[in-house]
Amino acid sequence: MELIRSDGLLNSIVARPRAAIATLPRAWGRLRSVPKVMRLARETQVGMTPHDVVLVRGSMRLLRYRRDTPARHSEPMLFCYALVNRPYILDLQPTKSVVRKYLDEGLDVYMIDWGVPAYAERHLTIEDYVCRFLKEAVDLVLKLSKSDRLHLLGYCMGGTFSALFTALYPERVQTLTLLASPIDFEGKESLLSVWVSHPYFDVDAFIEARGNCPARFLQVCFLFVKPVQNLIEKRLGFFEHMQDETFLINYFAMERWVNDNIPVAGETFRAFVKNLYQRNELVKGELRLGTQIIDLKRIDCPLLLLTAKNDHLVPPRSTEGIVPHVSSRDITKLTIENGHVGLVVSSKAQKTIWPEATQWVAKRSTVVPVRVSATRTLKLRPEALSTE
């Protein structure tokens, strides 16, 4: 018996049941939380800022967010999101909404929702998205806001489109904000860049077989860029926080967006991979949209670059690669220790990056003059002052 104690075996045998018993209250608490977890999974809402649909073109919709007070700045703000996933990541929750940040700063805010392309729309090109849909949205925003210019913010692939648009129509853009947007595709810092590089990925054969790039394919690619974090750590974190209602609401909001994937029009996906990822034509000055060559030197407006140091999809170097190729002299860079999505929805980003980003835009806007209503002066006759 003394020998067993000296080897520590007895202590080990006794400790294991004790450790198991100690975890029972937490396990029972998680079990009791299941009904609440299921309820929150059903009830958690996203994209809650009130808005109106002011334009519909095919699957595309243009949203105008409602304001409780008149805008304090003449130039409106237009968000151009990527063709992948849904744009409500920019308005995920009331406390994690980039849209609300700009509304609170006094701007009239619009957003493009590209929608879900049908198989019949597989022939849509980058030129269609930039020179038709985005241009029509910009023209309507300017008309509704009675302004000659607007602030344009592009996120990820939408930032690439925004840079293309600004190079083509610089007279319409007051400021350009690029949010984790790929511009220079030369580096291989991310697995995504390696996977789609030539000759490993035959995009022509892929699109000929599929028509559009399937949503499921894109989702799997994004998940396996960081498989341990996306497939294991995230679920362990959920299990550990099943009794935390705030955590659960945030978790289900993000899960709804992450799994709300949409396909990308085939010809657009083909060109994005071949002309940008594989050939890097944009910064080389070789990219054509129709008969027009994109010249980034035509971009001369104030430029704000927002990047995340831990971005596994769009490294900061890719976004900041636009700097040597534009004519803009007013260039600001803001970065944060987060990932591609954390740059938008993390509490740290909401408290640090976005107040500064919205103020940057406000300072480069035209302030709407405050209208002072005329006050009528009432002249009373002397007899009107009599108390009799």
What is the C-alpha separation between 338 and 114, in angstroms, rounded? 26
> Residue 293's Cα: distance from chain center in Å?
27
Residue 330 has a pLDDT of 98
- Among 88, 295, 310, 76, smallest CA distance to 180 is for 310
> Helix or strand or coil: residue 77?
strand
- Predicted local distance difference test score (pLDDT) of residue 22: 56
What pLDDT score was predicted for residue 260? 87
- Helix H or strand E segment including 57: strand 51-57
Alpha-carbon span 130 to 160, nearest angstrom:
10
Distance, in Å, from the CA atom of 273 to the CA atom of 55, rounded to the nearest integer, reads 29
Q: What pLDDT does residue 195 have?
A: 73
Alpha-carbon distance 357 to 239, whole Å? 35
156 a catalytic residue:
yes
What pLDDT shows up at residue 41?
67
Q: Is 213 a catalytic residue?
A: no
Distance (Å, whole) CA 56 – CA 93: 25
Q: Smallest Cα–Cα separation from 164: which of 299, 27, 365, 26?
A: 299
At residue 230, the 3 state secondary structure works out as: helix
Domains and CATH numbers, the chain: 51-193+281-363 (3.40.50.1820)
Length of the chain: 388
Is residue 312 part of the annotated active site? The answer reads no
pLDDT tens sequence across 19-43: 555 555 565 555 566 666 677 667 6
Walking along the chain (388 residues) 10 residues at a time, the average pLDDT comes out as: 49 54 56 66 81 95 96 97 93 94 97 95 96 98 97 97 98 98 85 73 92 86 66 70 78 84 94 94 96 96 96 93 98 94 93 97 92 47 39
**3 state SS of 224:** helix
In terms of Cα–Cα distance, which of 198, 314, 203, 182 is closest to 267?
Answer: 203
Question: What is the Cα–Cα distance from 150 to 134, expressed in whole angstroms?
Answer: 13
Cα–Cα distances (Å) from 60 to 53, 134, 139, 353, in that order, read 10, 10, 15, 29
- What secondary structure, in 3-state letters, does 60-89 show? EEEEEECCCCCCCECCCEEEECCCCCCHHH
Give Cβ neighbours of residue 370 (< 8 Å, ≥ 6 apart): none
Q: Which of 91, 108, 113, 311 is catalytic?
A: 311
Rounded to the nearest 5°, which phi and psi values hold at 31?
-60, -40
Which residues fall within 8 angstroms of residue 144, CB to CB, at 6 or more apart? 54, 64, 76
Q: Is the pTM of this model over 0.85?
A: no
In this prediction, residue 27 carries a pLDDT of 57
- Distance (Å, whole) CA 183 – CA 317: 9
- What the block records as the tokens of 42 is 């059903």
- What token pair was written down for 208? 């000929």
For 266, how many CA atoms within 13 A lie in the half-sphere containing its CB? 15
Give the contacts of 38 (CB within 8 A, at least 6 positions apart).
none
Reduced to 3 states (helix: H, G, I; strand: E, B; else coil), residue 179 is strand
* Catalytic choice (80, 131, 156, 301): 156
pLDDT value, residue 117 = 94
- Dig out the tokens for 45 from the structure: 């809402």
Rounded to whole angstroms, the Cα distance separating 87 from 65 reads 13
Angle, helices 24-43/9-22, rounded to nearest 10 degrees: 30
3-class DSSP assignment, residue 123? coil
